[in-house]
Structure 1
């Protein structure tokens, strides 16, 4: 049996901090608290040699409404793995066994019941603190809630977390300096508390915080747990004495085994009874971790601390003692019966259209402010097209010599239109990280993300092509006529959107910036190699390069469409000898360049835009696939 002090207590059922703007308590959400229990949780994973390694070994415990359970242990003890297992985020490379129950039942949590704050602060660096939290509120809170009330809730939680001074400061990232790491940590916590979840998972919530900020944050979380009846499970590494005293219960792990589970105030008695008393004026958490940390057993073996039992011996003593004294299974069944009511959560949330519009607006702001996302590439695009224009200046005459110049220039336009998007891969990958975090917490779906990303980027890419394309078209003197000019810009726009879709697919496959850029460049190189320019279509090897590479290369349709746009209807002749040989543009396309003339240039444009849609559909499919199987390419990354 558990110690006498470990008894159920009624969670306070009153409004937190007063006012209709605040985080509401249980009765205002219309639901019951979450009694989370787990029994005999074991997790294994393959090591570098393919052998199965035990990460967690038969862990049993529970977390109750209105209390904060701390998962503690030395590095590598399995606390984050246990947290991921309980929250349903166990990695695909791990195998887990055991039972996880919600109020004594095997049930799936509904939307809004749980939230997970990851150890990494995955935020959009271009947004201000208030914008980031407000956008999150718009995504999570129901459409029925008035906008003024959403704003009030955002302001209240910003105030509670001590972020008022930086509320209008940008978060910052790799390019621009923004708020501190501790402040980013608090922003991450704010975003997940907006919907008042019944169950809150925190992975290293005090990471990157100074002692004062760590205490303030955890005091807020503990107060929220008690007043709103929230069940909080937090994996913490090395809390201060003040933070440690805020916890209600402790689950101490060592080497994947459970050393202690129970009330915080009875841990000292347990360790003392087993011969490991906590010295006076020492932080209890430091003492417990020092006792079970095996990293320094070698020093003991070398005679530096001969009178002190090794951590391995201490762990064995404590594990056996705890198992002999306490029967958690019996206690959990009794408490599960008392809480045999599933949490009734109002699953109302923002609708599909609302989330789509919010995501589009947020993505638009991010693209507008992120220098590396579009604007730096925009400047490079202008410079590249200007250089191409100087090389092919005024090739728009109908001399025989202009034929090769037109062909080369068209290829350069398509090539540069596609290469310019490689530079934005870092921003793509960062956006994917934000999406994965918010997607796992149920803020929105993959379909909304893909659609919003496509619609948000399309206008930027249009500007991306119109201005540089207009400069190039004027300098080179290509075919006159508004229809030819619009077609030229449309092809450039379609190619740019095409390669952007390709790079987003790669970003979904590969979580690493450098590796993803290399893979994306390689794929584009293969597609460009088979487009029919370096070797004419009829001369391409049939296997692979002609079928299927030539027909799936979007470069082919861009180049072929621009060929038709430039050559059809023109006659080229020797400018020095008007009576000399001359060639019709149709003849050049069909017999020399081997362009397919069975359909018009507009068909090539339609095919390109159809491929844009296909690539975005592939992007959506890849997101779904990686959610099931994990990253397609992940070398961890590539240990050398």
Structure 2
């Protein structure tokens, strides 16, 4: 094992020792504004134009050289994350000022040379560390590399970030314990390190970690910057004193204003020259800076919080001695020529990788123990309740067919709505990195959904056999086809709802209302539906499902014993007459065509909503 680790350490040192191109980041007078109450109708809210516009960043300047690590400090709401997002090229809207990389504006080529680690570790819980990084490498690294080379790059990152011990552990799971918080953060950093970036942006990389783990993370970042000649920029809320002394430069923000930019070692001397010092008691420099950013000053002063903040902001802007922002004398080299290439891999490669990853992740949800038990218990109870019913107990059989439409109208709804809402953060993160096209993701997602057809098949086979429905292969398989087709239609509706709302609870609530409306309009409960609302049955998945299930079981001229001495037509039975649109070929075809239209239409709606929230980096 030691030999393997040494071998992989050597591999990582050769592959990831330093980026291909050192990059100097420089930003000057960055201002960002947002519109408040835009589109509102209240005249009171529109009375003053200044009230409609809020300035988040107020003229911030700085620079970071290769091998340096810049920490942006400030209280919550100071603009740290907004500035980081702007520097990383992920912020739209009213952004002014200049942001350059080696003296050039941000380009496609430069974006491919940078990495961005979000505050939340957005990872698939059931994939192992190795699987997570390998799939990311397959998607992000260029198609000119072979699969073995991409896997080798992932293994090198695992070794460099010290993840060998947990490489085969899942990220998180309800049964098996996943990796620790610090290991999760290193996996997130590793995903961005796969492209061997020249610039690495990190949003609160130590959030939620204990001080020891946080120090290990920052030490790793310091090694990546100092040893790899990378430019590292991070936001951090309240670092320990040991972490603080690792920062090459510090940018202190307060309400979007810069209070200090310069070397971390000079920060206390600078504020002491303004009459602010931490006092005689040993103080964490970061705590002292956050106090100042909040307007809390030590010593005897009658100034209130806002006066202190304004004084420090003014002092910084008017100071004669400031960090020299010019980096023209640092020869970082010219950036590679920009190109129009947006995707690292062709569509079919993206699709196949996403499909494989989706199958591996989704199988844990589709075939979890609780879902298997739920379906088997429900099937057993139904089979016993409808045990060996025959056509002379027609109401019972129709009730079972209606229950098919009802149960498999609700159950897939809950699964799919939560599935797509849980995918939101992952989709947004990966699309922002330009990993794949939305179309390849959406196609892979839809081909993963049929995994959910296994449990309906088992449920149908058990209940069909126990209930004693028509004993012919044609009736069995046509009914099974109808049931599975209705599940696919319901999944499409669920995708549309989930993509539109992107909130699991709201999506399930809306979905339940729609499904209940569809069920009530199917004709089983209400047999005399008023004409002004009867049109709902023609757009109801449940109505068409029930109609096709009735068609799979009964012939148009089939009879049953309505009394001891008389037979009646099945089609004249009240529950069937109200629910059955018709057993003719044209009526059956119309229901099938309607369900096909809904299957396609709902997925189109879902795709359009996903386009709205996942705009990739250009």
- 2 CA distance for matches of 1:507 and 1:592? 32
Q: Where in structure 1 are there 5+ consecutive unaligned residues?
A: 1-15, 630-640
Change (3 A) 1:518 1:439: same
Residue-by-residue CA offset, 1:156-182 (whole Å, 9 max, x unaligned): 222222222222111115675422222
1:216-365, aligned counterparts within 5 Å? 216-279=216-279, 281-294=282-295, 306-307=300-301, 309-325=303-319, 331=325, 335=328, 341-344=334-337, 349-365=344-360
Alignment match, 1:388: 382
- 2 CA distance for matches of 1:507 and 1:176? 29
Q: Contact between 1:410 and 1:562, CA under 8 Å: does it hold in 2?
A: yes
Q: Using the TM superposition, name which of 470-479 and 97-106 deviates more.
A: 97-106
Alignment match, 2:543: 556
Tell me how large the CA RMSD over aligned residues is.
Answer: 3.4
Task: Report how far residue 523 of structure 1 moved.
Answer: 2.6
SS in 2 for 1:202: strand
1:384-533, aligned counterparts within 5 Å? 384-397=378-391, 399=392, 401-402=393-394, 404-424=395-415, 425-458=417-450, 460-533=451-524
Task: Report how far residue 561 of structure 1 moved.
Answer: 0.9
SS in 2 for 1:143: coil
Change (3 A) 1:512 1:587: closer
TM-score (norm. length: structure 1): 0.82
Change (3 A) 1:45 1:244: farther
1:78-97, aligned counterparts within 5 Å? 78-90=79-91, 96-97=95-96
Q: Contact between 1:386 and 1:472, CA under 8 Å: does it hold in 2?
A: yes
Q: Contact between 1:170 and 1:179, CA under 8 Å: does it hold in 2?
A: yes
Q: Contact between 1:87 and 1:201, CA under 8 Å: does it hold in 2?
A: yes
Task: Report how far residue 598 of structure 1 moved.
Answer: 5.8
Task: Report how far residue 481 of structure 1 moved.
Answer: 2.0
Task: Report how far residue 461 of structure 1 moved.
Answer: 2.1
Alignment match, 1:131: 131
- 2 CA distance for matches of 1:18 and 1:452? 33
Q: Contact between 1:71 and 1:253, CA under 8 Å: does it hold in 2?
A: yes
SS in 2 for 1:421: helix
Alignment match, 2:4: none
Q: Using the TM superposition, name which of 616-625 and 496-505 deviates more.
A: 496-505
- 2 CA distance for matches of 1:582 and 1:461? 39
Task: Report how far residue 195 of structure 1 moved.
Answer: 1.2
Change (3 A) 1:358 1:559: same
Task: Report how far residue 308 of structure 1 moved.
Answer: 7.1
Q: Contact between 1:113 and 1:345, CA under 8 Å: does it hold in 2?
A: no
- 1 CA distance for matches of 2:460 and 2:190? 45
SS in 2 for 1:282: coil
Q: Contact between 1:112 and 1:345, CA under 8 Å: does it hold in 2?
A: no
SS in 2 for 1:456: helix
- 1 CA distance for matches of 2:590 and 2:24? 58
Task: Report how far residue 147 of structure 1 moved.
Answer: 2.9
SS in 2 for 1:159: helix
Q: Contact between 1:117 and 1:202, CA under 8 Å: does it hold in 2?
A: yes
Residue-by-residue CA offset, 1:371-427 (whole Å, 9 max, x unaligned): 7x7553333223223322323222333x2x41x223222111011012112442444
SS in 2 for 1:539: coil
1:40-189, aligned counterparts within 5 Å? 40-44=30-34, 46=36, 51-52=51-52, 53-90=54-91, 96-110=95-109, 112-173=112-173, 177-189=177-189
- 2 CA distance for matches of 1:336 and 1:393? 87
- 1 CA distance for matches of 2:541 and 2:368? 22
Alignment match, 1:368: 363
Say whether residues 1:583 and 2:569 are aligned partners: yes
Q: Contact between 1:35 and 1:102, CA under 8 Å: does it hold in 2?
A: yes
Alignment match, 1:37: 27
Change (3 A) 1:266 1:535: same
Residue-by-residue CA offset, 1:181-218 (whole Å, 9 max, x unaligned): 22211111111211122332200011233333323322
Q: Where in structure 2 are there 5+ consecutive unaligned residues?
A: 1-8, 46-50
SS in 2 for 1:119: coil
Change (3 A) 1:114 1:540: farther
TM-score (norm. length: structure 2): 0.85
Q: Contact between 1:422 and 1:503, CA under 8 Å: does it hold in 2?
A: yes
Change (3 A) 1:330 1:213: closer
Q: Which of these residues, 13, 22, 42, is aligned with residue 15 of structure 2?
A: 22
Q: Contact between 2:19 and 2:197, CA under 8 Å: does it hold in 1?
A: no
Residue-by-residue CA offset, 1:346-395 (whole Å, 9 max, x unaligned): 96723322222221122112122237x75533332232233223232223
Alignment match, 2:210: 210
Say whether residues 1:625 and 2:616 are aligned partners: no
Q: Contact between 2:129 and 2:168, CA under 8 Å: does it hold in 1?
A: yes
Task: Report how far residue 576 of structure 1 moved.
Answer: 5.7
Task: Report how far residue 18 of structure 1 moved.
Answer: 6.5
Change (3 A) 1:66 1:599: farther
SS in 1 for 2:586: coil
Q: Which of these residues, 584, 595, 598, is aligned with residue 581 of structure 2?
A: 595
- 1 CA distance for matches of 2:362 and 2:369? 9
Change (3 A) 1:62 1:480: same
Task: Report how far residue 342 of structure 1 moved.
Answer: 4.0
SS in 2 for 1:253: strand
- 2 CA distance for matches of 1:247 and 1:197? 19
SS in 2 for 1:496: helix
Task: Report how far residue 77 of structure 1 moved.
Answer: 1.4
